[in-house]
Structure 1
Amino acid sequence: MAVVKLTARNIATLPGQSDRRVDYVDAILPGFTLRVSPSGSRTFAVRYFLNGKVQRYTIGPTPPLSLAVARDLARRVLADVTKGADPQREKVAARQKRTQGLMTLGSLCERFLSEGKNKDNLPLRPSTLYNWHNIVKAEIEPAFGSRRPEEITRREVRTFVETIAEQRPYWANRVFELLRRVFSWAVESELLAASPCVGLKKPGGEKPRDRVLSSDEIRCVWAALGNGVFAEAVRLLFLTAARPREVLNARWAEVDLEDRFWRIPSARMKNREPHVVPLSKGAMAILERLGTPAASGEWLFPSPVGAGPLVAIAKQVHRIRKRAGVSFQLRDVRRTVRTRLREMGVSQDVSEAILSHAPPRIIRTYDRYQPVPEMSAALEAWSARLERIVAGEKRRAVVVPLARA
């Protein structure tokens, strides 16, 4: 949190961060702040202490609010605080009174999901929205849907998620995370004064998944794929180590067939950074079988119903597992490829770059090199290795020299 003299000129130019919100405290009026969000929006607010806790009172966005008007409003808020008032709580109470009898937790969840923004005020991925709608419908609505959110206690939330965790710990954690996000958003939006999730921890103990497919299992899965659009999508997963949703939502506009690159825009990446995927001979063969943009439309893997990409894939994955006799999930493919790359001698940084895992912040700050040539060589070597595995070759270590160009 930086202290600066806010001026009519710099409130429009003070820099933000791509991964978090930044608060600037006014040097003229302590407590008066300007918040810059990752999306670029700018909001005036007042920070004050009450009963040993920091409170934040939102004044409004700029534009349309001018600095002079916002600073004058901030002085009034701080004056009320010195008299013992709690402007933020009073503001929330007034809003609750206006909406009394209208807001339930069910309607609050729907409003939260309709905005479709994450904690950094960026659009949610469609798959996230889909999963959260399912959680609301299956778990939250039956338990609390008709309840007023301010009446729900911390004990009720704890009992609710711990009961789910007895049988489904992973699912219980997802339910709790959504509840926490909804209540936090409601507090930040001044719809509620407090969240019952504060101080609670995830109820389920999760063990990180470590499933890696053996050569025999890869061969069985590959043979069970058969033909069709989804089969080609799974093959591309094996050849690129991309995330399942990144592959399934791929567009022809992202693919450079001449230079053999697949450029995934930041909006579709988990880390919100654009990602370049070199296309090996095996990957190019898949694209050739898929046809051309003119023939197949916008999506590499179009849905057989509707105009979008493949979405409902659970039944197809189940059929592949049954035919192959192998228990696996699509996300295990990515871990399998990462493990095999290291077995082949591919360096840690190149392997991580292929998976689009961001290096530590200090390294990103000073080392801007993108090892695309090394990534290309590694994926080409993996494509050849995968071809041998599928053909029946037994597993053995292969060292691939990848000298930096």
Structure 2
Amino acid sequence: MQQISEKVVAGLSVPVKGNKVHFFSGATLQGKKAPAGFGVRVTAGGTKSFVLFHRVDGRKYLETLGRWDENPQGGTLTVRDAIIKADKLAKDLKNGRREDPRPERTRRMQDGDDPEGLKIGGANNSALKPEERDPEQKQPGLLDMFVERYCLKEKALKSADQYASTFRRLVAPDIGDLPVFGEGRLRRSHIVDMLDEIEDESGPVMADRTLAYLRKGFNWFAARNEDFTNPIVKGIREVGTNARDRILNDDELRDLWAALEVVENVPACYPRFVKSLLLTVTRRNEAALMHSSEIDGNDWTIPADRYKTGIDHLIPLSAAACELIGEKPDGANGNSWFIFTTTEGAKGFSGFSKAKRELDKAIAKIRTEAGREPMPRWVLHDLRRTGRSLMSRAGVPADHAERCLGHVIGGVRGVYDRYAYIEEKRAAFEALAALIERILNPASNVEELAGRRANK
């Protein structure tokens, strides 16, 4: 019986040009048997991907399952994982559980772009490197088409890669999953919330640039589809007038925590992720990409290459924050995984907008049932600002609190004082966690205080 292994795949020959598919139908590995049509495609550049050959109505299709995780440029599948995925796909095809088994590229070539089900997208266009594209995005979105057809083909813009990168990093995680038409479609408020987050995390210049890119993309699509109306209107954002100072009060924090316990239709990691934003006073993307390699005991170091100041930032995790880390995902490879993940550790959490909408619904339900007014609009970055305010309330010295947020201290002290303030920051984060606990459980605090008074 034919065998396959990581070593076998590593030893597959590389063609001089084009690509070559090595089939391993019926090959076994650790008790898993590859279905008919399973193979490994090797390109002239040495990249190896797993594929499955199948037929639909007599037509032949070679569908890509994913890239081998031992490629020099990375990938998502081990050999065993690829066999399992191929076997599931083959069974779905056989039993009719898949509505359209054609690969995405084939569907686009044969059917064209179908407005029904079209989403904003932005994470899977051809201007991105293959490893940057989202393997879970099945259909190209509006922004993907804009980059591919307008930026790359019609205008051949030198800045096409900037458009693509901006959409992938800043737009797709927030509004990429929203439909262009129909129920739940993109609205102006979604764009405003997203721009607020971008300004808080990346600055007003980046927010304005993102808005300009979106406006051009939406205008391009509006010229092609008479049913689409560009939601970006004049005055949606004016430079220098969007600074936010929103801080959640105690009631809002209690409602938020209560909603995180009951919210539905969100990834299992989402409640832990949101709580971590407050307990570590970090920015959204910094927490979303928290990686096991960055954690040493109870200390989390965000590396300089993904921190806003360009300097390593050490966060001593409080006991409450440590509880949010969770266990190693079942499908994680080795000792390396993302903490907040929906892909068994392979990728950090994204899909912020969809989950945030579900969370807002849960908060609204709690307030409605209690006969209270709706919660004022808020964004995830408001939790960082709230955490800073709570530190002052907890008696943390301003200098220590600023270092907890990773702000660069100006003047002579900022340049020459190399003392890391680790223990001071540790005390500050514990004080923050303790205050949050008192806010969330005010009744128990009253009982504790009464008990202390009775014992005096």
TM-score, scaled relative to structure 2? 0.46
Deviations 1:304-328 (A, max 9, x none): 4993111112121111122123332
8 Å Cα contact 2:259/2:359 also seen in 1: yes
Unaligned runs of 5+ in 1: 1-101, 117-123, 146-162, 170-202, 397-405
For 2:358, which of 305, 319, 325 is the aligned residue?
319
Distance 2:351 2:271 in 1: 14
Residue 302 of structure 1 is matched in structure 2 by 341
Shift in CA distance, 309/363, structure 1 to aligned 2, threshold 3 Å = same
Residue 245 of structure 2 is matched in structure 1 by 210
Shift of 1:213: 0.8
Distance 1:104 1:363 in 2: 53
Amino acid at match of 1:311: S
Residue 263 of structure 1 is matched in structure 2 by 301
Shift of 1:112: 3.8
For 1:139, which of 206, 210, 215 is the aligned residue?
215
Deviations 1:37-81 (A, max 9, x none): xxxxxxxxxxxxxxxxxxxxxxxxxxxxxxxxxxxxxxxxxxxxx
The answer to whether residue 410 in structure 2 is matched with residue 375 in structure 1 is no
For 1:292, which of 324, 328, 336 is the aligned residue?
328
Shift of 1:345: 1.6
Shift of 1:204: 3.9
328-337 or 227-236, which moves further after superposition?
227-236
Distance 2:304 2:171 in 1: 18
Distance 1:208 1:134 in 2: 17
Shift in CA distance, 106/356, structure 1 to aligned 2, threshold 3 Å = farther
Percent identity of equivalent pairs: 27
Shift of 1:363: 3.2
Amino acid at match of 2:269: V
Residue 319 of structure 2 is matched in structure 1 by 281
Q: Deviation above 6 Å: which 4+ runs of structure 1?
A: 131-134
Shift in CA distance, 107/237, structure 1 to aligned 2, threshold 3 Å = same
Q: Secondary structure at the match of 2:361?
A: helix
Shift of 1:343: 1.4
Amino acid at match of 2:290: A
The RMSD of aligned alpha carbons is 3.6
Residue 180 of structure 1 is matched in structure 2 by none
8 Å Cα contact 1:106/1:141 also seen in 2: no
Shift of 1:352: 0.7
Unaligned runs of 5+ in 2: 1-151, 173-197, 199-205, 222-231, 263-267, 365-374, 447-456
Distance 2:244 2:310 in 1: 23
Distance 1:138 1:335 in 2: 28
Shift in CA distance, 215/128, structure 1 to aligned 2, threshold 3 Å = same
103-112 or 262-271, which moves further after superposition?
103-112
Deviations 1:16-36 (A, max 9, x none): xxxxxxxxxxxxxxxxxxxxx
Q: Secondary structure at the match of 2:381?
A: helix
TM-score, scaled relative to structure 1? 0.51
Distance 2:397 2:418 in 1: 17
Shift of 1:109: 2.8
Number of residue-to-residue matches in the alignment: 235
The answer to whether residue 404 in structure 2 is matched with residue 354 in structure 1 is yes
Q: Secondary structure at the match of 1:276?
A: strand
8 Å Cα contact 1:224/1:320 also seen in 2: yes
Shift in CA distance, 280/126, structure 1 to aligned 2, threshold 3 Å = farther
Amino acid at match of 1:139: R
8 Å Cα contact 2:332/2:345 also seen in 1: no
Residue 252 of structure 1 is matched in structure 2 by 292
Deviations 1:346-379 (A, max 9, x none): 1111111111111125432222222111110011
Residue 47 of structure 1 is matched in structure 2 by none
Distance 1:306 1:253 in 2: 12
The answer to whether residue 277 in structure 2 is matched with residue 237 in structure 1 is yes
Distance 1:256 1:239 in 2: 18
Amino acid at match of 2:296: D
